[in-house]
Structure 1
Amino acid sequence: MGSIPSSIGACHALIKMDMCHNQLTGPLPDSIGTLQNLMLMDLSYNRLKGPVPMWIRSLISLQTLILKGNPMGPTPIPSDGFDGMKGLMTLILSNMNLHGPIPSSLGKLPGLRVLHLDGNNFNGSIPTSFRELKSVSELRLNDNWLRGPIPFGREMVWRMRRKLRVHNNFGLCYNANSGLEDSGIGPCDTPRP
């Protein structure tokens, strides 16, 4: 309970920070951005507020970031907020009241395997850069305000199988032969009566 102390930045050897379900409040202290050895940060299900901080991208060793269930919004994800995080494998930002477009830079994270952006207020289309997520095996974009065609094809859909969730959006659709026929969304070329 309370806020995360800025003195946590003095723990330079810290590798794992798991503070989920602790009723933590306030913004994330900037001093966390100095933890160059941090590999896992799970701050899910607290009461953290404020925008997703720009210093996140300075955590060059980070492999897993879980912030889900924090009412940080309404705020967008900075367009370059995760640039250079080549080792990031798991990014979970579900149910955070994030809004605006999904940054195309998320599609340029070569090691990303799990990406959850569900339960927010993202709008616009799914970035075409998501086609480049060759390692992703789990993608949740459901329960947002996304629209337009899903930009990836059958191979990516097959790789994710049931771990691709795109239902409950404003106007997403799939192109023929994409393998998304049972995804809970309609085809893009549905003839109008």
Structure 2
Amino acid sequence: MIPQCLGTLRYLFVLDLQMNNLNGIMPRNFSKENQFETIKLNGNQLEGPLPHSLAQCRNIKVLDLGDNIIEDVFPNWLEVLPELQVLSLRSNKLYGTITCSSIRHPFLKLRIFDVSNNNFNGPLPTSCIKNFQGMMNVNDSQLGLQYMGWRDNIIGKYYSNSVVVIMKGFDIELTKILTTFTTIDLSNNMFEGEIPIFIGQLSSLKGLNLSNNGITGKIPQSLSYLRNLEWLDLSRNQLRGEIPMALTNLNFLSVLNLSQNHLEGVIPNGQQFDTFGNDSYEGNAMLCGLPLSKSCKKDEDQPSHSTSEDEEESGFGWKAVAIGYACGAISGLLLGHNVFFFGKPEWLVGLVEHMFNMRLKRRNSRAGANRRI
């Protein structure tokens, strides 16, 4: 059993008990004077609801409670924590809708938001996402690479925060978390509705995973504004319409999964889209074009269309050839019949002699006698 007294340790900065066999309910009595900056209880067997006293951890930056059996609604009361940067509640038994209250800036500094593999339903949490200021215009280039952590200035030791995320389709443990790393993972729930247009405002976002939900509507063109995006997973939803051509402007996109939807039309090409294989699009019966083996109907019709235009322009189409061939054949038969039965016609002999400046020899004596007469 996890000790309930852990929440009363006033001068503890890091509580890291991840990947153990702890069970029971979480500590219920986090004091107002606590100094916690990191609480990591992920990978245990903790159960029951989340303690509201966590809202008193005003200095906390990393809260990782993933991979437990916690059963509760979404803790929107955590939105008041001014320093929270990492919130991972993945792989629990959380349920209900996700909403944020009416405070001005909920989750002000949040950069990693992972609620995947739960039982959340209803619309996507737009009231929260649109206020993720920590995912907009993050720029630490002037300070160099920095990691989320805690340093004890007295003994000179440094603690590096870590977190497990689904990155580019794989479960990866980030042993150090860059302060510029931003990701949203809402996968494997029962969310519905359309992808909000304003999600394109999260310009520093590196990963977006909305897979395996009931999301409908079209892929918003505003996703093309996520110029730092490295992976995008919208698979196993109910998305319709065409893939926006503007997504080819995502120069850092290395993993794309749009499979198992109802998308249609031509797959965009150019830049990063030329590197994606069939598995990025499978399960969309109405999609066509490379890299799929199904060519688009417009492409199939294009050669015959251009050939017909050329014929019309030149006036030498197959109809004209057929008509000319038929007329020539009939004329040849009539002329051959006349020559065979009546000899060389006078008008034909005169025409040939005039054209070639020569006289034809008369081999038919009867024809010659008729000519003398």
2:195 paired with 1:77: yes
Counterpart CA distance in 2 for 1:70 and 1:112 is 22
Counterpart CA distance in 1 for 2:96 and 2:210 is 17
Superposed CA deviations along residues 162-186 of structure 1, whole A, max 9, x for unmatched, are 5961111031111xxx5x2xx4x51
Counterpart CA distance in 2 for 1:133 and 1:83 is 12
Corresponding residue SS for 1:30:
coil
TM-score (norm 2): 0.46
Corresponding residue SS for 2:194:
coil
1:1-193 matches, within 5 Å, as 1-31=71-101, 34-55=106-127, 56-62=129-135, 63-73=182-192, 75-78=193-196, 80-153=197-270, 155-158=271-274, 160-162=275-277, 165-174=280-289, 180=291, 183=292, 185-188=293-296, 189-190=299-300
Greater shift, 114-123 or 124-133, is seen at 124-133
How many residue pairs align between the two structures? Answer: 180
Greater shift, 87-96 or 2-11, is seen at 2-11
- Cα 1:143–1:114 change in 2 (3 A) is same
What amino acid sits opposite 2:107 in the alignment? L
Superposed CA deviations along residues 110-149 of structure 1, whole A, max 9, x for unmatched, are 1111000000010010011112111100000010000100
Superposed CA deviations along residues 76-98 of structure 1, whole A, max 9, x for unmatched, are 112x2303111111000001110
What is the deviation of 1:6?
2.4
Counterpart CA distance in 2 for 1:147 and 1:141 is 11
TM-score (norm 1): 0.85
Corresponding residue SS for 2:198:
coil
- Cα 1:119–1:46 change in 2 (3 A) is same
CA contact (8 A) 2:121 2:190 kept: yes
Counterpart CA distance in 2 for 1:114 and 1:77 is 16
Q: Which consecutive aligned stretches of 4+ in structure 1 deviate over 2 angstroms post-superposition?
A: 160-164
Structure 1: gaps (5+ residues): none
Greater shift, 122-131 or 50-59, is seen at 50-59
What amino acid sits opposite 1:186 in the alignment? K
The residue number in structure 1 matching 2:56 is none
Structure ranking higher in helix proportion: 2
Counterpart CA distance in 2 for 1:141 and 1:161 is 11
Greater shift, 34-43 or 23-32, is seen at 23-32
- Cα 1:76–1:5 change in 2 (3 A) is same
Corresponding residue SS for 1:48:
strand
- Cα 1:93–1:173 change in 2 (3 A) is same
Amino-acid identity (%): 29
The residue number in structure 1 matching 2:304 is none
CA contact (8 A) 1:102 1:122 kept: yes
- Cα 1:128–1:119 change in 2 (3 A) is same
Greater shift, 18-27 or 53-62, is seen at 53-62
- Which structure has the bigger radius of gyration? 2
Counterpart CA distance in 2 for 1:86 and 1:152 is 23
Structure number with higher relative contact order (C-alpha < 8 Å, ≥ 6 residues apart): 1
Counterpart CA distance in 2 for 1:64 and 1:92 is 8
Counterpart CA distance in 2 for 1:3 and 1:97 is 20
